[in-house]
Each structure stands twice: as C-alpha cells, then as structure tokens.
A and B are shown apart, each in its own frame.
Chain A
C-alpha cells in the first residue's frame, strides 16, 4: 500500500487528507430513517461478494434535467466510501449537473478531486461513476425516454472464459433470463465462480432494460 503524507507532512496515512475527510465524515449518504419517495432514479453497481456495492438515489428536476439531490450508500473500503461521498458533492454543487454532464464524469476526475488515491485502489474502488450512469439510465427508463439509455461499453466480466458484459447482454436478448441459461450460452463463471454475483447483477440489469422486448 503506497502511503500518502498529510499536508503538514507530520503524519503519513494511506489516503490523502481529502479522502480521509470524506471517509470519516461522509456527505449526503442516505440514512435508514429517510423517506425515499422523493427520488426519481436509483442506480446500483457491484455486489458485496466482489467487495464493493454502491447504490445511489437521484432527485432530478424534470424540467431542466439537473440533479438536485444525490444520495448514496456504499459497502466498501475507505476509498470506495470517500469517492462516493466526493461524487455526491461534484454532482450537486452549483445548482447541480445536468444528466448529460453527470454521465461524462470519469473516475480520473473523482480521483483528482480526492487528491489522489494509492494506485492499486483506483480501479477497484472508484465505481460511483458507474452507479451514477446506472441511475441516469434508470431516470430515462422511468420517464419513458428509452432512446437516451446508454449501455456501458464492453468490459470483460470473466477473464477465464473471456466473457464481456456485451456477451451477457446478447444472451439475455437471445432469451436467456437465468444464470444457468446464460452460462449455457457463454460458459461465464464456469471454473471461476467468483464472478457469478456480478454476472447475476448484469442479467438483472439487462432483463430490466429490455423488459418490454422480452417474452
């Protein structure tokens, strides 16, 4: 684990001062007691089995398509929690980003605002941009603007069988709606059971996305 030294140089910690601040004092997370009826989009990424799960709740102004509220919950390590908290500020500051602007946020921008992360933390823990895009798709799905739904570009889900999310999408469109059916078409996760929770997640995502077109 590479260290990050605090601004005054006195204490070396694993994360920057900004990460530390957001980790110990997370902003905008959704408490159990809160009523969620005011939100009009929900997004999700990851699963507890793979070590990180994020959920985001958005309140989008239907007139301007600006994000008025970004609330979240995260299961994950220090940088996962801090990067979600930081994203909640980036998305809602100065009157809120439009959905188009929010969709363009990339992990590098979040990391820059956090003052850096240890290299090995970057890919596994900055996932909130994905959860955000998932929520944006959910918003468009809910309001019936399905033409505005953008699928994530292909990404390898199972490096053993070399199966991408596009392969899973194709299998679902082909009528495979259970893990077994998708496995029969793609061999995903066979001999690599660690990826199965993420695969099930993707199957659910595509079933929801294409719900009207599937039998």
Chain B
C-alpha cells in the first residue's frame, strides 16, 4: 500500500542532513555547556554557533535568541513571561481568536487567575485580521499583542509586517508622551519553512519558532526577544539562557534546529512554488470529484502546503480513520479527534457553523509529497466520503456552508 503523509503541519520528518549535524552531540560531544573544560566548551561552542546562525536568518543579534523546549514553551514564555514582568504598565492583552492553544490558554490563565483583561479579535470569514482591527483594540493599558504569523489549521498568513509597523509608529508617539505601549509577539512556528522571518521587516518584539515543523528535531524551540525586553522566567535553577530559561541545554536539538532553519529558509521560494502547484491540484481535484465541500481559510493568502477542506454531512475523525486505512495520513478539526468536546476553535472563529468544523480535514503537504501522491489521494478519497455519507443521516443544505 502507498503511504502518503499529509500531516506536515502536525510535525515534519527529520531531514537526514539535520540528523547528521546532530549526531556528534548525541555521541562523543556529550559535554555540559556550563562545564569549565574542553568537553564542555565544545558543547558551549555548538549552541553559541547555532544561536548565531539562527540570529543571522532572523536578522537579529545572537543574544536576542532564547532556546526553549518548543513552540508551546516559547508561546508561554512570551505571554506569561512578558505580562507578569510588565504588569505595572497595564493589564490588557490583545490576541486573535485563532491563536494556538499555547497562546490562548496562557492568556486565559492570566485572565482567570491574575486579573488581566483580554480582547480576542475575530477574523473575517476567510480567516484574516486587519491592521485597523488590531490598532482599534489597543487601549492605553494594553501591554501585549499577539497575532499568529500563519495559522496551523487553515494556513492563513496575517499581515505581520504591517501590524508591527503600525504598532511601532504608535509606540514612538506614546514614548514622546511618556506613556506605555504594547509589545508585539508572533507565533511563527508554521511559517518557518515558507515565509520571510526577517524581524526588521516584521517589526515584532517577540517571535516563537520551533524545530519540529521544519524538518528539525522535536522538543526544541526558540523565542526571539528584542533587546531590552524584560521577561519573568517560568522555571528556576540556573543561569542558562541568561536566567530566562534555566536548565541544561538540549545541545543536539539546538544544533539540529539551527541546521533545519538554514535549510528550509534557503530553499523556501522553490519549495513554496512546488507545493502551491500540488496543493492547488489537490483542492481543484477534491472540488471536481466530491460534491458538498468547502475550502476553509483564504483562497490564496495561505501557506503553500495547507489545504483545509470541510466535507459536509460527515464527521472528520471517521474520514481520517478511513483515509488512514488507505495509507493517507491527515488530521481533522472535529471534536472527536480532540481531547475536548468542542470542535476546532479556528474554524468556529471564522463564524462558520459547528457542522463545518466537525467535517473539516487538514491536508498539509511537505518535502516528500509528489504529484503521484496527490493523484493517489484523489483516487481513494471520493469513495470513502461517499461511503460515510451513505451511512450518515445528515443532509446539510448548500447555503448553510458556502
């Protein structure tokens, strides 16, 4: 049976070149970077080299990169670390309703337990947030704004540079008046393989990236922290990462993440063009062969590898498992596949009915995806949808989901 992995937004396989770069630090180069001997120095040099290489891609200073255990920790450190350290300037935050749970639940925690206030911005029906929306939500006591660079479920790409620019302009004005102003965070985990990460163009103050969405290792991430920004640590017990993130460093992981980032960024234009063609072929093929579907998110303003499609009258988990049996690996926004009873908060934030969220399936393409893979999916998918529809009692009207 053919195996077609279309779940690269969940995680990517490790690039063999990344593995090669990591191997010495899983083997003989086993020192602790904090040790005062040559074995330790070798490990220390490895993480500082990785830091410099990541900083070069982001066009920032090496000391502005803080290594973490992944995207969730970086998002948590950005939200909790910044807001707790800077609550004297105000206790209001602005986030989008479709942020990753790592941002939403951290923000929710501050709201519930530490008397912060949150404004959650709803996107339009295509999943876009406007600069005006963000600026209108900012109040004199707003200290933190977070807008995801590219969404993990529907792939929509937000105008981060424009939002960052607008916040920076108002910042200059506020400073002249001696007032506080918000800092701007973006979660760029899904963007690393496809979009420009130049912080000078994005005008962000904090940026989350992680290793496992870009053919790097799992369990490692980074937070870009603009110089001068104060964060309160989430854990204690050492001086690593300037005390912001103590604990012995994941040396092999850090080296692997730096290598992965360099590789995907060097190849991103070519790979993006290749995947856009395959992605559009998939979407057009589904539309042609399967009635009653809808593409969730913006038609063009989305990650090259993302197609999120709702199949009406059926439930996403059932389709995921039927596809799994056919060797096609995808994911769903249905409640049944999550740990809660609620379906995808991202699809619901678009103002679409619950049925659309329950029937949503995310196809996320990657390095290994070929035109033959897409042909295979287009062959096996329609009869599986047909079969599940034949045992479903639901017949949703077209006007309900278009």
Contacts and interface: CB of A to CB of B under 8 A. Distances in A.
A184 interface: no
A74 B337 contact: no
Contacts of A120: 339
Interface string A63-99: 0000000000111111011000000000000000000
B354 A50 contact: yes
Nearest to A84: B391
Contact of B337 (A44, A77, A81): A77
B354 A77 contact: no
Q: What class of interface size applies to chain A in its complex with B? A: 20 to 34
Given A49-B354, A120-B339, A194-B354, A78 B317 contact: yes
Contacts of A59: none
Given A51-B358, A194-B342, A75 B392 contact: yes
Given A75-B315, A77-B318, A78-B318, A53 B336 contact: no
B351 interface: no
A107 interface: no
Nearest to B317: A77
Given A23-B321, A77-B315, A48 B341 contact: no
B361 to A, nearest CB: 13
Interface in B345-402: 353-355, 358, 390-394, 396
Chain A interface SS verdict (over half)? mixed
B183 to A, nearest CB: 32
Nearest to B392: A75
A76 B391 CA distance: 10
A31 to B, nearest CB: 6
B335 A51 contact: yes
Given A55-B393, A74-B393, A48 B336 contact: no
Contacts of B321: 14, 23, 77-78
Contact of B315 (A1, A24, A76): A76
Contacts of B318: 23, 76-78, 80-81
A116 interface: no
Interface string A20-31: 000110100101
**9 shortest interchain CB distances as A-B pairs:** A77-B336, A73-B393, A77-B317, A49-B354, A55-B393, A75-B392, A29-B391, A75-B394, A48-B355
Interface of A: 1, 14, 23-24, 26, 29, 31-32, 44, 48-55, 73-78, 80-81, 120-121, 124-125, 194, 197
